[in-house]
A = this chain, B = another copy of it.
Amino acid sequence: MEFMTDPMGIETRSMEIIAPYLKNLNLNEEATKVYSRMIHAAGDVEYSSVIRIHPQAIEMAKNALKKGCNIYTDVEMVRTGINKKKLASFGGMVECLIASPEVAKIAKTEGITRSMAAMRQFGEKLDGAIVAIGNAPTALYEVLHLMETTSIRPAVIIGIPVGFVGAAESKEQLMKRSLVPYITVAGTKGGSPIAVSVVNAIMYVLDNKR
């Protein structure tokens, strides 16, 4: 039984297989890397038609990372998947508050989801940071609401909730209402590894230029 075990070989081969599905999209080199990693993370070439990258999103994310920004996530799986060693090399760290007892208390008192309470709890920290949401539509709504009611402005929002109840709607709202650049996936598809793949792709792009 022969199979590839070399990570760089797998990466290269994967990009070759995905390339034909991107050829009509007029993507620059960096966007191609982001698309390829998202498609690879889902094992689904149909992502090529539903990925939505705001024209300034990759640039804003790169600048924020270079300044050592932190990344704030809705769920532990997104926190887990982000390459924290690489992020630390830029000076940043990842935080997730979904399991925080204080957040659970706020959620109960205010009658909101823990994901919403977590975003509210991050508050000012979100300013200039990267927000990476891979699961909860309500977390995404809360960030949109925070931007509309305060001066908090993340550098970029990677907003990719998944599923059939509210996810597509929340991502539509992100594209309509966000006051900062975003990366998302139209429709019901998405999830933690897709959000993770965006963050890691942009870090690798940046790393290759150091």
Residues of A within 8 A of B (CB): 1, 3-5, 10, 13-14, 17-18, 40-44, 76-77, 79-81, 112-113, 116, 137-138, 141, 162-167, 169-170, 173, 187-193, 196
Contact = CB atoms under 8 A, between A and B. Distances in A.
A79 B42 CA distance: 18
Q: How many copies does the complex hold?
A: 2
Q: Of residues A173, A188, A193, which shows the largest number of chain B Cβ atoms within 10 Å of its Cβ?
A: A193
B43 A163 contact: yes
5 A-B pairs with least C-beta separation: A43-B188, A43-B162, A80-B80, A43-B189, A17-B164
Nearest to A167: B43
A116 B43 CA distance: 21
Contacts of A169: 3
A170 B3 CA distance: 9
Nearest to A161: B43
Contact of A141 (B3, B44, B164, B173): B3
A138 B7 CA distance: 11
5 contacts: A10-B166, A42-B42, A43-B163, A43-B188, A81-B192
Nearest to A10: B165
B17 A192 contact: no
B162 A42 contact: yes
Given A3-B138, A3-B169, A138-B3, A40 B193 contact: no
Contact of A189 (B44, B163, B165): B44
A166 B2 CA distance: 10
